Amino acid sequence: MTLAFAAKRLRLPNGSWNLIARSSHLLSMQAPIPPLFRQISMAAESVASQLTSSGLLRTQGLIGGKWVDAYDGKTLKVYNPATGEPIVDIPCMAGKETNDAISAAYDAYRSWCKTTASERSKLLRKWYDLLMAHKEELAQLITLEQGKPLNESMGEINYGAGFIEFSAEEAKRVYGDIIPAPLSDRRLFVLKQPVGVVGAIAPWNFPLAMITRKVGPALACGCTVVIKPSELTPLTALAAAELSIRAGIPAGVVNVVMGNAPDIGDALIASPQVRKITFTGSTAVGKKLMAGSAGTVKKVSLELGGNAPCIIFDDADLDVAIKGTVGAKFRNSGQTCVCANRILVQEGIYEKFANALVKAVQNMKVGDGFNEDVVQGPLINEASVKKVDSLIQDATSKGAKLILGGQRHSLGLTFYEPTVITDVKNEMRISREEVFGPVAPLLRFKTEEEAIRIANDTNAGLGSYIFTNSAQRSWRVAEALEYGLVGVNEGLISTEVAPFGGFKQSGLGREGSKYGMDEYLEIKYVCLGNMNKE
């Protein structure tokens, strides 16, 4: 049976980071499992079987080109969030395995950094081609372990593979400089050289894209990597690593370890052979990594938490604003770092916008991601549900009003109703903390100046959005917002060709685009003297 045919058979009826500690996977399953979930479970088993036969369902770590278990035999389970059931066991690795992976990456670096840009480009292009050739299987794998709808998973494959393609192209454009010398007998020039071994720590919400966004430019620049995927979603990373081997990328250039997150993190930041840490995840953990890296003075790139404002002005095109807001808020069940966390609506259209948003959101179908009609899957685990509930309860206890949703979905487990809540104030927890769930909090504002003040009143500064038909206003507000990304009349702004990163406590450095390449390079100045002598 072909994978395409298998995917069609999986169209069921509708309804159907973390570095410090692994959030609880024990989903509430005290009640008997309904027949529909048994059907979903059987479908998931079918997907797993197909992935196993294709060689993409890997359940071991990758160290120096070899697939290995944890040295002490310990394992962890990976769960399907749509059913709460385990998919596979993975090795629970720790410091010893990580140190061996670092050594393998360091040994491989000695030869990999000497390969030509053209050679690295060709190998990355082969990796990209394989990712695209297997995008259906990889998308199914993402939906299986992360829960997002299959269409979104397919979109992530295109997006994530794009970083490998862009890096393959940009590898040949890492240029240095010639500097006019102040003395006639000297020549001055600048070289860009790879930083060395990179520790890449990725989150669970985008299991492929958050890895390729780091690994693509690292390899293109001549670095080698030790990848630490989330224990919640390691299978996509392992599948991508398998395809890197098939592409001909040498052993030790790409390594993958997962398991005991604190031990792995400690090994990466303590090793003098690791010269850079790149991390996507919470601000709290990013601060710990930054502090830990000080001991060996590593380069650090951090893409941390967000608190994105989405500002809707009176003069906005309502249809454009609703479409953009829904895309920015509810993609991946609200589990993205650039989700619209606070929706600021000017008072002249506040009620009209709220009613239109409810109308758009109430038609969203919630369910297992393999259903072609589903646009919202489950939250990643029970801890996420409890956090969302806590923020909503705090807001409503302080005067906010629920006008849609606001509770666990009737499907149970970690499915949550798409939610709209009005009369939210900037002082409420839901305005101060990253929700990471399908909740749209609406705040009211009067003037442009007030909107900018509210939007910037946060320690975060990653994504932001503006909806207005005034060109002058779009320029003024975009320049005034203290954010690394600004979408104007657009809710989906991430792309591999543009720089991604934040201001303030949302992080350091940039990923993607030509600017992201510099994060993996050292600048060397060379002065040649006595040039006028024979």
Supply the DSSP symbol for 408: B
Q: How many CB atoms are closer than 10 A to CB 272?
A: 12
Name the catalytic one among 97, 337, 382, 519.
337
The verdict on whether 496 is a catalytic residue reads no
Judging by DSSP bridges, how do beta strands 224-228 and 254-256 pair with one another?
parallel
Name the catalytic one among 303, 382, 496, 511.
303
Burial of 40 (0-12, 13-18, 19+ CB in 10 A): buried
Supply the DSSP symbol for 259: B
Residue 85 phi, psi dihedral angles, 5° rounding: -95, 150
- Map 104-157 to HEC letters: HHHHHHHHHCCCCHHHHHHHHHHHHHHHHHCHHHHHHHHHHHHCCCHHHHHHHH
How much of the chain is helix, strand and coil, in % rounded to 5?
45, 20, 35
The verdict on whether 303 is a catalytic residue reads yes
Burial of 411 (0-12, 13-18, 19+ CB in 10 A): buried
What are the strands of the beta sheet with 254-256, ordered from one edge? Answer: 66-68, 61-63, 254-256, 224-228, 197-201, 274-280, 299-303, 507-508
Q: What residues does 408 pair with on adjacent strands?
A: 416
Catalytic residues: 303, 337
